[in-house]
Structure 1
Amino acid sequence: MPSQNSRLLLKHMLKKFLESKDEWILLGYFVDIRYIAVAIDGKYFLTDAHIYLSPISPTTGGYFEIVTDKICIGRKQLSFNKKSDYDSLISNAIDGFIVVNNRTMILPGDDSLSHYSEMARRDAWELQLHLKIGRNQFPPIQSAELIEFDNILRLSTPPFDGLTDVASILNLRMPGGYADPPAINISVGPPVDLRLIECNLNNDKLYLSLVTHSAFDISKLSLLIRAMPDSDLSLRMHVTNQIRWAEVQGDTRKGYAEIELPGAHGALVTVMNGTMLVRRQWFLDGARTSNRRLLALETFDSDKQNMHSAIFTTQDSATFEKGIANLMFVLGFSVTSLINKDAPDLVLATPQGKLIVLESTLRTSDFANKIGKLYDRKRALSKKLQQNNSPDIVYSILVCALPKDQIVTNADDIKVSDTILLAREDLIEATNRMKTLNDPDSFIEMAQQRASYGLTISENNKML
C-alpha cells in the first residue's frame, strides 16, 4: 500500500488537476476517446480507456466502433463548443464511466474509485495534465471467450486480427492480458509548448520557437533560461518579454525569441503555464561539445533533428530502432544491428566488454513478446559465451517510446527477465546528456543497482 505521504501527494495532485484543467482545456480543444469494454449481463464494463485532450487536431481516419452483445471497442474524435461539455466528459470519467454514442461504459466493481497521477513525479521533463481512475480487478475472462472476441474482430468492419491487433492500434491493454486493474486515463496536452525542431543554441545565441492554442492567454506563460556554464547568476533569467508573437492563424499562434547567451555551451529552457510546468528542455551547442561521437552524428544529422524525430515523433518501428541506435552510439556504446531477423533489434557493447541485447517498441501491446524474446536471446548469448570460456553475464534493455504513465506491464515479468526498462522520460534524459562524455559501463551498473529500475510503472501505479 502507498505510504501516508504518497497518499497526501496524490490527493494534492488530484486537486491540482481539477484546478488546472480550466486553464489547459480551451474551447476548440480536440478530444480523442479510445475504449475496450466487455459486455456482462447486458452492461458494458471497461477493461481500459484513454481520453486525450489536445490543442492539435488528431490524425484523421482513425474513428471506428465495433459493437456486439459481447464487446464494445472503438475510437471517437470530436470537439465541443461549450466548456461545460468538456467538464461533463471529465466529471464522468472521474466518477468511473464514459459515454460514447449514447452508450455508457463503466469501470467494474463496487469499491471506492482510486486515483493516480503522473503529475506527482518531480523529475518530469515534459508534462501533461494526467489522471488515472481505477477500481478492482476485472472479472476473470475464460480463454474460450477471448477466442470468441478475436474472431468477432476478424469479421468486423474494419477487420482486426484479434484483441492483440486492436489493442495495439488503440494503445490500450487487451482484456485478460494484464495484472493491473481496469482504468480510465485522462491526458491533457498543454495549450503552449516549444516547437523543438525549430529551437537551437548556436554561437552564443539561443533561438526559440513556441506555438500556442489560439485561445491561450499569453499572460499565463512564463519562459525561463538557465545557461551553462553558470559561474554567476547572469545567465539565469526570465525571457518571456523577449518573445515576438505573430498573429493568430487558424487554431494556433506562433512566437519567436532570440536570446544572447555569451559563452554558453548549453541552455535549460523551462516553459510554465501559470503555476504548472509544461516542459524542461536542454539545448546544446554542438560546436562546443567534448563528445566526439556527437560531432560525428551532427556532421550527417543536422541539428540532431532526424534523430530526435526518429525517437520522439515517428510511428514507424524501424525508424524508432535507428533513432535508438544513434542515441546509444552517442552515449558511448558500440552498436550493431544484426542481419538475421531472429535476433535482437540491437546488440550493444561497453568499453569494459559488457554485452547488452536490446529490443525497442512503440507500443505496450507486444511487451510480453518482447520480454520473452529478450529472455531467450540473453540466455542464448550467455550459453555461447560459456562455451567460449568467456564471462557469461549478458544484460537486456527494453526501450519503449511511451511515457511511464502509459506503460502497463507485469513487474514479475521484468524481474524474471532481469530487464532494464527505458521509457520516454529516460530517453529525454539521455538526449540531454549527449553533449558530455558518458560512461556506458556506469550507465548499466547504475541501472542494475536501482531496485526499482524498470518496476516503477507497476509498483508506483498503486491506487489510493
Structure 2
Amino acid sequence: MEDLPDENVSHLKRFKAAAAAWVCDGYTLDVRFIAQKSDGKNDAILWDASIVLSPLPPKGDRNFFLEVDDVIVSQTQIRIDKIQDAETIIERAGVGFLTHANGRTFVLPHANRGPKYGSGLIDRQAWFSPLRLTVSLGPRGSFTPPVLSGIDDALRLAEPPFDGLADVAGWLGLREPGTEPLTVPQITCEIVPPADIRFDQCSLTSDQLLVTVAAHPNFDTSTLRLAVRAVPGNFMLGRKQIADRLEWKDEDGLRKGTALVHLPDSDQVLLMLMIGNATVRRTWILDPTKARNNRLLTVQHFDKELKKLTDALTTAADGRLFERGIASLLFLLGFSPVLTLDNDATDLIVATPGGQLILVECTLKTADFRNKAGKLVDRRGSLTKALQESGHALNVVAVLVCGVPRDQVAADAEDVRSLGIVLVSREDIDAAFNQRRAPRNPDELIQAALENLTNASGATASPPENA
C-alpha cells in the first residue's frame, strides 16, 4: 500500500483507527453480497457487498445463501463474540476479500493497482456519522442480457424465491448487476456506534440540560466524549466537556449515562458526541419555552405576520404557489428544501440536518393522487439506486402533500401508504404551521412519520426492503 496516494491510504487508516475504539464484544455482523461465479481459485468475484457491524441484535432470521446459474447471493447475520474477529473481517475486506461462514471465499476483481478507498469520515457537515469505508479494486465482469434473463428465472424458482436480480438487490440494499455498465464493484464497510444520544430522554428547561446516552453493555464508556455549546450562552460558560458528569447504570440490557448540567442563558444547546477521535452525532436540544426560531424571524421580516405564506398554504388555487408555500413551511420547521426546475423531478427535494433526503410531491386535487404517487415511487427508486451506486447508503423518504382535509383523501390513503409514501393532509399542514415558533427536530419528525407509516400499513418507507 505504500505506493498508493496518501489521501487514499488515509481513508483506510482513519477507518481502522476509529473502528478499534468503536467495536466491542457482542456486536452483530451483517454480510450481504452479490457475486459472479469464477473458474479461479476463489469461489466467485464480488459485484457488490456490504459489511455492517452493529451493537443491536439481529431482528428475526434473515440468513440465506443462493447459488443459481452464474450468480451467488447471500445475507448472513452472526454475533461477534471477540473484537479480534471483527478486526480480521475488516482487515480482509480492506484488501478485497470476504469469507463466508461456510468457508467459501469471495473477492473483488483485481486491477493492476492496489485498492481504492472512500470514506464517510470526510463528511464534515453530517449530523450523524457512522463509520463507513468503501473498497474497490478493478473492473467488473460482464453479464449479457440472455444470462441476466436466465438468472432472473432461476431466482424465481429458488428457495427462498426472489423476483429476479432487481428484487434480490433491493432486498439486500445492493446494486443490481447489469444496470450500469461502468459501475465499479466494491465492498462497503459500515460500523454503527456503540453509544448514542437518547433524544426522548433529553430536555432543556430553565437553563437545565438533561442529557441521556445509551451504550452497548460491553462498551468502554471511558472512551466517550460529550461536549455542549449553549446558545446564546453566558460567554465561555456555555461551552463544556461533560462526559465525566454522566452517571452510568445498567438498564434494559444497556448502559445508560445521565447528567444534569446548568447552562446559564441557554435557549438551545448543541450536543457533540464522540467516541475516541471520531464524531458520532451532533444534535440540538431546544427549550420549548425560550427557543428563538431564527428562520421564523427571517421570514417574518419579509412577510409581515406571514400573510403571504398563510394564503399560499390555505387559499392558493395555483399548484406552483402551493409548492412554494410548502417549501417555506419546511424551511421554518428546520428542513432545507429546494424547488426543482426539471419537469421530470419531484416538486421539492428536502434535506434534514441529519442528512436524510426527502422527495416531496404537492397537490391540491385528489384526482392527482395516483399519478403523483406513481411518480414518487419511480423517482425514489431511481434516486436510491443512483445513491447506492455512488457509495451513499442513504434512505430516501417519499412524501405526498395534499392541500385537502383528511376525510377527502381517506379512500386513497391506504393505497398511498402501501407504496411506502408518507401522506400529509390539510390537518397535518395546519399542525406544522402551529409549531413554527418551537419546531421539533426535523429528523425526529421524519422518524415519527415513518413509524406511523409502518404501523398503519406495514410498508417500509423506501428500498431496500431489508434495511
- Shorter-chain TM-score bucket reads 0.5 to 0.7
Task: Say which of 242, 263, 274 aligns to 1:239.
Answer: 242
Instruction: Give the structure 2 partner of residue 343 of structure 1.
Output: 371
Write the letter of the residue equivalent to 1:113.
P
Inter-partner Cα distance in structure 2 for 1:192 and 1:370: 30
Write the letter of the residue equivalent to 2:74.
G
Inter-partner Cα distance in structure 1 for 2:154 and 2:20: 40
Matched, 1:119 2:121: yes
Matched, 1:41 2:39: yes
Inter-partner Cα distance in structure 1 for 2:129 and 2:22: 12
Q: 1:243 to 1:402 in 2, by over 3 A?
A: farther
**SS of structure 1 residue aligned to 2:11:** helix
Q: 1:344 to 1:9 in 2, by over 3 A?
A: farther
Instruction: Give the structure 2 partner of residue 20 of structure 1.
Output: 18
**SS of structure 2 residue aligned to 1:234:** helix
Q: Which runs of 5+ in 2 are unaligned?
A: 297-326, 338-347, 349-359, 397-435, 440-467
Preserved CA contact (<8 Å) 1:337 1:345: no
Residue by residue, what CA displacement relative to the aligned partner does 1:399-447 show, whole Å, maximum 9, x if unpaired? x8999732599xxxxxxxxxxxxxxxxxxxxxxxx8799xxxxxxxxxx
Preserved CA contact (<8 Å) 1:271 1:277: yes
TM-score (norm 2): 0.64
**SS of structure 2 residue aligned to 1:34:** strand
Inter-partner Cα distance in structure 1 for 2:362 and 2:275: 42
Superposition map of 1:172-183 within 5 A: 172-178=174-180, 179-183=182-186
The structural deviation recorded for 1:185 is: 0.8
Inter-partner Cα distance in structure 2 for 1:408 and 1:249: 28
Inter-partner Cα distance in structure 1 for 2:221 and 2:14: 21
The structural deviation recorded for 1:254 is: 1.0
Inter-partner Cα distance in structure 2 for 1:186 and 1:32: 10
TM-score (norm 1): 0.65
Instruction: Give the structure 2 partner of residue 64 of structure 1.
Output: 64
The structural deviation recorded for 1:40 is: 3.6
Inter-partner Cα distance in structure 2 for 1:404 and 1:142: 25
Instruction: Give the structure 1 partner of residue 97 of structure 2.
Output: 97
The structural deviation recorded for 1:236 is: 0.6
Instruction: Give the structure 2 partner of residue 406 of structure 1.
Output: 393
Preserved CA contact (<8 Å) 2:175 2:385: no
**SS of structure 2 residue aligned to 1:224:** strand
Instruction: Give the structure 1 partner of residue 351 of structure 2.
Output: none
Instruction: Give the structure 1 partner of residue 318 of structure 2.
Output: none
The structural deviation recorded for 1:87 is: 2.1
The structural deviation recorded for 1:7 is: 4.7
Preserved CA contact (<8 Å) 1:39 1:71: yes
The structural deviation recorded for 1:243 is: 1.2
Inter-partner Cα distance in structure 2 for 1:401 and 1:115: 16
Q: Which runs of 5+ in 1 are unaligned?
A: 1-5, 295-323, 347-357, 372-399, 410-433, 438-464
Preserved CA contact (<8 Å) 2:269 2:284: yes
**SS of structure 1 residue aligned to 2:250:** coil
Instruction: Give the structure 2 partner of residue 212 of structure 1.
Output: 215
Q: 1:435 to 1:207 in 2, by over 3 A?
A: farther
Percent identity, aligned pairs only, is 31
Preserved CA contact (<8 Å) 1:44 1:105: yes
Inter-partner Cα distance in structure 1 for 2:294 and 2:16: 47
Instruction: Give the structure 1 partner of residue 301 of structure 2.
Output: none
Matched, 1:367 2:382: yes
Superposition map of 1:71-220 within 5 A: 71-100=71-100, 101-111=102-112, 112-178=114-180, 179-220=182-223
Matched positions, count: 340
Matched, 1:270 2:257: no
Preserved CA contact (<8 Å) 2:233 2:264: no
Inter-partner Cα distance in structure 1 for 2:207 and 2:13: 42
Deviation larger for 221-230 or 63-72: 63-72
**SS of structure 1 residue aligned to 2:227:** strand
Inter-partner Cα distance in structure 2 for 1:124 and 1:52: 19
Write the letter of the residue equivalent to 1:88.
T
Q: 1:243 to 1:54 in 2, by over 3 A?
A: same
Query: How large is the RMSD of aligned CA atoms in angstroms?
Result: 3.8
Inter-partner Cα distance in structure 2 for 1:326 and 1:188: 35
The structural deviation recorded for 1:210 is: 0.8
